[in-house]
Amino acid sequence: MSPFSLRVMSLQFVLAILCCGFQTTVWPNLFGSIQMPQFWLPWILFLSLHRPYFEALFMSYFFALIMLSFTSLSLQMIWPTFLVLVSAAAFAKNKFFWPGLRYFIPATGLCCLLWNVTLVGLSSTFEKSSAPLLPITRVLEALLTTLASPLIYGALIRLEKLRPVDSAKATVREVSA
């Protein structure tokens, strides 16, 4: 990996941390107890769709370590859920994929639902006090995350264009199509 790619990757991580910070601090301060969208989730989806499988997976594992600083949810739940999430996104990408927001927006909604379903499933299997179902909250969260996804997508596409041509050739071509 070139130092330039590494720099872009670092910028993407900074963006992910800012998303988490915004979600946990600014959102509750301005909107009170209104359900918050998962601003980091489109980032994971973007990686899964625009990066090789293993690169996306290991980046998501590293991101899980960052997420620990923002929540009490354990790594025990986050890593397996990310494995399922990134694998499902890579599988879906191989079956049907077209670049752009028209794919990314509904994919974010599905990804958010899959995150919640996997988390509840794994939690009820492996944890003593399992995650509550909270169906309305989780559906509302998926809807809000879907609505917020174009913003994150726009920022990530701008960052992706900074990558060297040889490594980001495919992505940029897909995006500009």
Partner 1 sequence: MNRFHLNLRKVLAYGFAIFFPLLSLNMQHTPFDSGWFNQPLQWAAAGVQQAFYLFSEGVRGTTSEYVNLLNIKSEISHLQEENQQLRARLSVLDDVQKENQRLNALLDFRSRTKMELVAARVISRDLFSDHSTIRINKGKHHGLQAGQAVISTEGALGYVFRPEAFSSMVLLITDRYAVVDGIVVRSRARGIVEGKSAGACALRYVEKSEDVKAGDLVVTSGLDNIFPKGFPVATVEAVESRSYSVSLRVDLRPVVDPNKVEEVFVLLNAANEDLTERFSMTQNSPPYPPEVETR
Residue-level length of the chain: 177
**Residue 64 CB neighbour total at 10 angstroms:** 17
Taking the complex as a whole, the smallest distance from the CB of residue 85 to partner 1 amounts, in Å, to 11
Cβ nearer to partner 1, comparing 23 with 161: 23
Cβ nearer to partner 1, comparing 68 with 173: 68
Task: List residues near partner 1 by CB under 8 A.
Answer: 17-18, 20-26, 28-30, 32-33, 35-36, 38, 40, 54, 57-58, 61, 65-76, 78-80, 82-83, 126, 129-132, 134, 137-138, 141
Taking the complex as a whole, the smallest distance from the CB of residue 69 to partner 1 amounts, in Å, to 3
Asked if 37 contacts 147 with a C-beta cutoff of 8 angstroms, the reply is: yes
Taking the complex as a whole, the smallest distance from the CB of residue 165 to partner 1 amounts, in Å, to 25
The whole-angstrom separation of Cα 127 and Cα 46 is 29
Cβ nearer to partner 1, comparing 41 with 49: 41
Taking the complex as a whole, the smallest distance from the CB of residue 66 to partner 1 amounts, in Å, to 5
The kind and range of the H/E element at 95 are helix 75-95
Structure-token pair, residue 157? 């596409």
Cβ nearer to partner 1, comparing 77 with 101: 77
**Residue 95 CB neighbour total at 10 angstroms:** 6
Residue whose C-alpha is closest to residue 81's, from 132, 125, 27: 125
